[in-house]
Amino acid sequence: MKPRGNNMTFLTKNFGLIARYFLLAGAVFAIHQVLLPSAHAETLEIEEVMGYQSAHVCKTCHPRHFNEWRTSNHAYGQLSPFMNNLNKLIHQKTSGTAGSFCVRCHSPMSVIMGEEPLSPVELRNTVSIEGITCVVCHRLKGNHGKTRGEVVVNKGDLETPLFGPFDQIKQIPIGRPEEKRFTHAATYTQNIRESQFCGQCHDVPVPNSYRLEDLFGEWRNSPAAKEGTTCQDCHMGIEQGVKSPRAKGPIAEIKGITFPERTLSDHTFAGPDYSVLDISEFPLRRFEWPVLMDDPNFYNWLEGVRQKQKEGKELNRLDQRKWKRYQQLVEKSQELLEMAQSKRVALLKNASRQEYSVPESVGRGDDLAIAVTVHNTISGHSLPAGFNTERQVWLNVKVTDDQGGIVYQSGDLDSHGDLRDNKSLDVLQGKAEYDHDLFNLQSKFKLMTIAGHEREDHLFIPRDVDNFAFVRPAVFPAFSFNGPPPVRTQKNGIPPLGSRTAKYTVETDGASAFYDVEIKFNFRN
């Protein structure tokens, strides 16, 4: 674009909402977990004796709910390599006194069944591997308060009544009369309709009273709570992230039985988190598939098959059969992941709105002023929320001249994929400049050092003060201060229905005929 006159430079604008998903790199999180079938086979009878059913039992009559749940972070809770390795690290840093702190929420059944907190995934039983599985919510009677997952789940067989949001539902006979088989009954409970039900896990005070996550606490003080809008209203409707109506349909699918149409709750629970496991492990799991489940060296086999295909070698009959089954698994998993991804993107888009201010022209050699306002359109909690110290929501602003050269950039990544803040290795080593204009809504842990001042850290364990850290109960109430000394969270998110403006001043030399301004709004977890 040519300038009008001798003292004007024109700008072209290229900006908009771009939802990006990145994987945070780190050696401690680089362990791949493989689910071995032998452990599952050994625990099937024990599960029946203990009186807790797998979600795969529920799938028989509730396939819609099952397929939604199996893509959710509830199903992923116990499988997450991030959680499992962070759990190990916390145990190391606290001399083992953290106990079942992490797994109580990620897999309540694991604690109820007496599994060790650091048991490998492949040695856990099927029900505990399912994380927040069906019985965790639908066999949970009463309100346990903010208990960090320390809940009581009722035992029972397949005909034992489950708890739900509807009035009493009677048992219906199924199969042949002589079999005397019935569906389970359902008992109404108000708890499952209330936000407090979610707060049993989504409010995480550490035993010393430091509040690691206060998602439920944010909701309780939000405009949504004052209006009577619950967590379930926004996270179990047709549209994720906003209060929306429920789908309609039969609650179950049983041959020969017609169920009346009623409202259906979405069990995807779309959120910002996502799986980093191999597609053969989540959402479909290899141990469910004949032929594939019996091979403890599955990934070595898979690599060998791909190498043979690359070299044009023919596969033997067994390999052909296994490859066909693997392709079927991948195809079905991909379909489920795409469904979950579409809901996740919808959730993120519903969470915020951006306004951009970029002048059409500037005087030659004058500074270019850019302003970006980010609005939190959520009435129920901050942006970001939950484990806000793990979530980065930031702006990337890039200005290029008419030759394509970068004149200015903020919010870009260093050679390690990190933002150029005070935790960037490149910045600390002098290989990259500190990003003074960085707009990042990530909250930070603040730890008190032995000298009394504070510093930021990525863990909430004050190792400067305690050479051998132990998790001890608090001796005074500290929730009103969001944590006791020597650790606190410095929140940096945007409160419900709030906004924040980032301003950028870009120096121009007047030599370019025009400048391109590219603005991206990014998220990663």
pLDDT at 471: 67
SS (H, E, C) 231-290: HHHHHCCCCCCCCCCCEEEECCCECCECCCEEEECCCCCCCCCCCCCCCCCCCCCHHHCC
The beta-carbon contacts of 462-468 under 8 Å, at least 24 apart in sequence, are 462/486, 462/487, 463/93, 468/95
Q: pLDDT (tens digit, 9 = 90+) per residue, 206-236? A: 776 677 888 999 999 999 999 999 999 999 9
DSSP designation for 440: B
pLDDT at 421: 92
Q: pLDDT (tens digit, 9 = 90+) per residue, 101-155? A: 889 899 998 888 888 889 888 788 888 889 999 999 998 877 766 667 778 888 8
Bridge partners, 369 (sequence order): 505
Clarify whether residues 12 and 82 are in a common domain. Answer: no
Q: Which of 238, 264, 290 is the last residue of a domain?
A: 264
Instruction: Say if 202 falls within a structural domain.
Output: yes
Answer whether 502's CB lies under 8 Å from 368's CB: no
Instruction: Say if 286 falls within a structural domain.
Output: no
Clarify whether residues 14 and 154 are in a common domain. Answer: no
Q: Which of 264, 281, 302 is the last residue of a domain?
A: 264
Clarify whether residues 442 and 401 are in a common domain. Answer: yes
Please, which pLDDT band fits residue 466 given cuts at 50, 70 and 90?
low
Write out the DSSP string of 289-348.
STTTTT-TTHHHHHHHHHHHHHTTPPPPHHHHHHHHHHHHHHHHHHHHHHHHHHHHHHHH
pLDDT at 325: 86
Clarify whether residues 412 and 441 are in a common domain. Answer: yes
DSSP designation for 184: P
Q: pLDDT (tens digit, 9 = 90+) per residue, 469-520? A: 666 666 655 555 555 557 778 889 999 999 999 999 998 887 778 889 999 9
Clarify whether residues 178 and 64 are in a common domain. Answer: yes
Please enumerate in sequence order all residues whose Cβ is within 8 A of that of 379, keeping only pairs 6 or more positions apart, or say none: 222, 223, 224, 227, 229, 496, 497
pLDDT at 522: 93
Q: Which residues of 49-58 are buried (b: 16+ CB within 10 A; e: fewer)?
A: ebebbbbbbb
Clarify whether residues 51 and 13 are in a common domain. Answer: no
Please enumerate in sequence order all residues whose Cβ is within 8 A of that of 373, keeping only pairs 6 or more positions apart, or say none: 354, 355, 356, 357, 499, 500, 501, 502
Both structure tokens of 444:
């930070």
Clarify whether residues 255 and 356 are in a common domain. Answer: no
Q: Which of 230, 264, 298 is the last residue of a domain?
A: 264
Clarify whether residues 360 and 476 are in a common domain. Answer: yes
What is the domain range of residue 114? 29-264
Coil, strand or helix: which one is 480? helix
Instruction: Say if 432 falls within a structural domain.
Output: yes
Clarify whether residues 129 and 236 are in a common domain. Answer: yes
Rounded-to-integer distance, Cα 522 and Cα 502, Å = 14
- Answer whether residue 423 shows pLDDT above 80: yes
CA dihedral 430, 436, 439, 442 (to 10 degrees): 50
Instruction: Say if 81 falls within a structural domain.
Output: yes
Instruction: Say if 384 falls within a structural domain.
Output: yes
Q: For the chain, how many structural domains are there in total?
A: 2
Clarify whether residues 67 and 107 are in a common domain. Answer: yes
Q: pLDDT (tens digit, 9 = 90+) per residue, 141-168? A: 777 666 677 788 888 887 788 888 887 6
Instruction: Say if 252 falls within a structural domain.
Output: yes
Clarify whether residues 210 and 77 are in a common domain. Answer: yes
Instruction: Say if 41 falls within a structural domain.
Output: yes
pTM of the model: 0.82
- Answer whether residue 16 shows pLDDT above 50: no
Both structure tokens of 41:
């086979």
Clarify whether residues 70 and 201 are in a common domain. Answer: yes
Rounded-to-integer distance, Cα 414 and Cα 417, Å = 5
Rounded-to-integer distance, Cα 160 and Cα 135, Å = 11
Residue 491: HSE in the Cβ half-sphere, 13 Å Cα cutoff: 19
Answer whether 393's CB lies under 8 Å from 442's CB: yes
Percent of the chain with pLDDT strictly greater than 90: 36
Instruction: Say if 293 falls within a structural domain.
Output: no
Element (H, E) at 216: helix 215-220
Q: pLDDT (tens digit, 9 = 90+) per residue, 356-381? A: 999 988 887 788 999 999 999 999 99
Rounded-to-integer distance, Cα 376 and Cα 382, Å = 7
Q: Which of 75-79, 99-103, 413-417 has the lowest mean pLDDT?
A: 99-103
CA distances from 196 to 3, 316, 381, 473 (A): 61, 56, 14, 23
